[in-house]
Amino acid sequence: MTTATSIWLKRGLLCLTGFIQVALVAIDTWFISHNALFAAVGISFCISFIWTWNVKRVVFGTNFDRVVYSFGAAMGTMVGLIIARSLVS
């Protein structure tokens, strides 16, 4: 039996992994555009690794799960860009 707490914990983790994945995509895009080859390769590996966790959760999840994931991804874009700017500056 699934409790309400465990459902919200799973959704929180889904939001977090969406956040991390898209933050890394934003950082990677910045690295690629600035020819930071080794940084881009390392970040790309991390993106793909995290993506393997997200696929099953999103594909077999509810529409609300997709919204939660998308919210985390949107926030990840903002934070990833801020981090990338600070790393390149």
Task: Kindly report, residue by residue over 13-70, the tens digit of the pLDDT.
Answer: 999 999 999 999 999 998 899 898 999 999 999 999 998 888 888 888 889 999 999 9
Whether this prediction's pTM lies above 0.75 is answered by yes
Task: Kindly report, residue by residue over 72-88, the tens digit of the pLDDT.
Answer: 999 999 998 898 888 76
Q: Is residue 89's pLDDT more than 70?
A: no
Please, what's the b/e burial string for 53-66 (b: 16 or more CB within 10 A of its CB; e: otherwise)? ebeebbeebeeebe
The total number of structural domains in the chain stands at 1
Domain extent, residue 76, equals 4-88
The residue among 84, 53, 82, 46 whose CA lies nearest residue 69 is 53
